[in-house]
Chain A
Amino acid sequence: MTGVSGLVAKVVDSYQRDKDMLIQILLDLQSGFGWLPAEAVTEVSKQLGVPITRVYQVASYYKAFSFSPKGRHSVTVCLGTACQVRGAPRLLDRIMDRLKLKPGETSGDMRFTLSTVNCLGCCALGPVMVVDGVYRSNPSTTELERIFEAAK
């Protein structure tokens, strides 16, 4: 068994090969690979006995899934209403300017992926950004520089 099919088998088994758990399986694979390689999608379809069209339908429907590899560091800017009124668009502008990326893009050296999210539920602290799972409230330009420098 190759690496991909082995990993898929492990995840599929952990859900007792239950077809209802398709989304959960894909979520685990997404976090395992950092994205959903075509091979993994094919394997899920085969091993779970779900038509590949349905796997693709589900995987393309939800925002959590990506069909292209992500950078080593994920930078997410919250654009929820509370962050919006407290200056999230300007924070995003500054980050886009610094990373030379638009939301959804990954840098050529695979260092950063920039994305936006509609609410992280930290509304009291807006504007909020998350770098590799660490939440930051309204970082200054100097703090941003430090954060990005530290992410090699």
Chain B
Amino acid sequence: MPKKLFSLEELEELRKEILSKREPDKPVITVCTGTGCQTYGATNVYETFLQEVKNQGLEDKLGVKATGCHGFCEKGVVVVVFPEEISYLKVKPEDVPEVVRAVAKKGILERLLYEDPVTGKKIAKESEIPFYKNQSRIVFGNNKYIDPKNIEDYIALGGYSALSKALSQMSSDQVLEEIDKANLRGRGGGGFPASRKWKETKNAPGEPKYVIVNCDEGDPGAYMDRSLMEGNPHSVLEGLIIGAYAIGAHEGFIYVRQEYPLACENLNWAIKQAEEYGFLGENILGSGFNFRVKVHRGAGAFVSGESSALMSAVEGKAGEPRFKYIHTAVSGVKGRPSNLNNVETWATVPLIINKGADWFRSIGTEGSKGTKIFSLVGKVNNTGLVEVPMGMTLRQVIYDIGGGILKGKRFKAVQTGGPSGGVIPEQYLDTPVDFDELTKLGSMMGSGGMVVMDEDTCMVDVARYFVNFLCEESCGKCIPCREGLRLLRVILNDVCQGKGKEGDIEVIEEVAEVMAAASLCALGTTAANPVLSTLRYFRDEYEAHIKEKRCPAKFCKDLTSFYIQPEKCQACLICLRNCPAGAINGDKGLVHWIAQEKCSKCGICFEVCPPRFSAVVKLSGEPIPEPPPPGTKVIRKKEG
């Protein structure tokens, strides 16, 4: 049982003690065990490292540590060797003995280093890899140093010093002023100034007051909050406690999606440790300030991430939103003043208190200060989490950090802001990313999802996808949202299936207008954004679907057919064997052909046809040529 801390001095002493026990020159092999890397078998890799170090008798000379997400999920399992920060990527259990031997000899294992796709040069240091080099990881960066289950790692990095500074040297008003001066805007999507909400809650009549962490990260395609909560839960807790002090709240809630089991686990662990060390509970750090926190798991409802709905869920009720003419800051959980912020917002608070509002204001754009974490996913080479200063252009994020489009395809659009956002086409790639600029383009920054789409993505299908998603997630309380979405779903399904009619686009626009004007909560008022923004920039794709029954991206199943070009087919039998519908005819030496009436359009033939033949093509809006006469022999292609 650790000693409970009662003052700033005791915390500093503990920090010194922890640091004195550490050997900064001792090599430590860290394994990312975030959910992304776990998918690639990180737990197994971590355990293999522990065993291998033991086998080679190196326990005294080498440390092994599990850490949170580094962000470069595409290249998992990510292993970084400290103190040199040598980054090994795509590490498998069978690579472990070789890595251990290399580390023991203070050498580098070239084979697993990052290779620059352009120059072919190997890069050893993590910070020099282009994916990391162009980021500023002030909120997210500590993940790689921290074992999320060990509070001492957080303390060693200066953790909880912002809390002790706030409690011992600042009044609650001074804390609030600092956040106000920093112009910290909510990272959850709305971009509302945090200090305004804090002030309103603080000044609202009624006790007790509550502070809440929103980790109900429901936006499909976004996982920043998950990785922060999993990888550095104490930074969120510290921010929350500071906020509670500023507002005068003694009770807090942390609402986490139950789809994030590791985040729940690490958070509960962190709370327990924070209580033991005296960062939570009675008389925190001897200041006389008391604060407790409870964890609530969400039970799977997207709309519960809306603040008033989340507060109902915390009361154990169905998470439906309500009208907010009285703000939740005045009447939230159980009718009491309640302040809710998103995970990333809370995690930014300790940095501002430690380094000052002026430092924070020096990063970012006029209206949006600081950095933002984005989940850069979809058809981009380097997928993962990236943290950049506000104001970096979309092009820099997607090309300099993301390494461009997968398989050298053409960029079509980037979807930002999740189901409330929209798509941004190529001509706006040089737009600086911040709260205000993306809104001007009919999208929004939202919580930080950035889904990159290429020429093979159908924009009508993207709209249909989001409408379908929202249709299922709408709570049904207000009619514009419930019925509007249902109508949009019917129309968009028709359009994607080639049953679209003249006038459909106009009906879509009319419904969208009513939904935006009359829905109860933000889910409904923004629900038509993905449709409207795809219409704004890709109206021609809608028209092609409706008038020509053609899907320009050749994505929509009902408007696309697969066809084997007889002059290219080499009768390799691969597609024939893989076709689950048994629709492909042919034999050794005989040209293959697809019986269209049997074809289920699963696309497997297109995927498995060897690129050197590329015989299978997709057709849309054009007649399918007749198959070759039975028994047509292949025209052999000279190889090499």
Interface residues, chain B, CB within 8 Å of chain A? 35-36, 38-40, 73-74, 76, 217-223, 226-227, 258-261, 296-302, 313-320, 375, 377-379, 383-385, 415, 418, 449, 451, 453, 457, 462, 465-466, 469, 472-473, 475, 578, 580, 600, 602-604
Bound-complex Cα distance A117 to B520 (A): 25
Among B227, B378, B418, point to the contact of A85 (Cβ < 8 A): B378
Among B219, B222, B316, B451, point to the contact of A22 (Cβ < 8 A): B316
In the complex, what's the smallest C-beta–C-beta distance from B357 to chain A, in angstroms?
32
Report whether A126 and B377 are in contact in the complex, using a CB–CB cutoff of 8 Å.
yes
> Which 7 pairs across A and B sit closest by C-beta, in order of nearness?
A124-B73, A121-B223, A62-B299, A63-B300, A80-B220, A22-B316, A81-B221
Bound-complex Cα distance A57 to B39 (A): 35
A residues in contact with B221, CB < 8 Å:
80-82, 119, 123
Looking across the interface, which residue of chain B has its beta carbon closest to that of A130?
B39
A residues in contact with B220, CB < 8 Å:
79-84, 118-119
Report whether A20 and B297 are in contact in the complex, using a CB–CB cutoff of 8 Å.
no
In the complex, what's the smallest C-beta–C-beta distance from A145 to chain B, in angstroms?
12
Looking across the interface, which residue of chain B has its beta carbon closest to that of A93?
B602
In the complex, what's the smallest C-beta–C-beta distance from A33 to chain B, in angstroms?
15
Bound-complex Cα distance A145 to B7 (A): 59
In the complex, what's the smallest C-beta–C-beta distance from B173 to chain A, in angstroms?
31
Interface residues, chain A, CB within 8 Å of chain B? 19-24, 26-27, 50, 54, 57-58, 61-65, 79-86, 90, 93-94, 97, 117-126, 128, 133, 135-137, 141
Number of A-B contacts (CB under 8 A): 145
Report whether A58 and B602 are in contact in the complex, using a CB–CB cutoff of 8 Å.
no
Report whether A135 and B39 are in contact in the complex, using a CB–CB cutoff of 8 Å.
yes
B residues in contact with A23, CB < 8 Å:
296-297, 299, 313, 316
Report whether B38 and A135 are in contact in the complex, using a CB–CB cutoff of 8 Å.
yes
In the complex, what's the smallest C-beta–C-beta distance from B338 to chain A, in angstroms?
13
Report whether B300 and A57 are in contact in the complex, using a CB–CB cutoff of 8 Å.
no
Report whether A85 and B316 are in contact in the complex, using a CB–CB cutoff of 8 Å.
no
Report whether B38 and A58 are in contact in the complex, using a CB–CB cutoff of 8 Å.
no
A residues in contact with B415, CB < 8 Å:
81
Interface of A is mostly: helix
B residues in contact with A123, CB < 8 Å:
221-223, 375, 377, 383, 449, 451
What are 10 pairs between A and B in contact, CB < 8 Å?
A: A23-B297, A23-B316, A54-B317, A62-B318, A81-B415, A118-B472, A120-B35, A121-B223, A123-B375, A141-B578
Looking across the interface, which residue of chain B has its beta carbon closest to that of A57?
B318
Looking across the interface, which residue of chain A has its beta carbon closest to that of B452?
A85
B residues in contact with A81, CB < 8 Å:
220-221, 377-378, 415, 418, 449, 451, 465-466
Report whether A61 and B319 are in contact in the complex, using a CB–CB cutoff of 8 Å.
yes
B residues in contact with A62, CB < 8 Å:
298-301, 318-319
With contacts A80-B221, A81-B220 taken as known, whether A117 is within 8 angstroms of B259 at the C-beta atoms is yes
Bound-complex Cα distance A127 to B296 (A): 29
**Which residue among B38, B300, B457 has the maximum number of chain A CB atoms within 10 Å of its CB?**
B300
Bound-complex Cα distance A19 to B224 (A): 32
B residues in contact with A58, CB < 8 Å:
316-318
A residues in contact with B475, CB < 8 Å:
61
Report whether B449 and A124 are in contact in the complex, using a CB–CB cutoff of 8 Å.
no
Looking across the interface, which residue of chain B has its beta carbon closest to that of A125?
B39
Bound-complex Cα distance A27 to B602 (A): 37
Bound-complex Cα distance A82 to B451 (A): 6
Report whether B218 and A119 are in contact in the complex, using a CB–CB cutoff of 8 Å.
yes
With contacts A80-B220, A85-B378 taken as known, whether A137 is within 8 angstroms of B39 at the C-beta atoms is yes
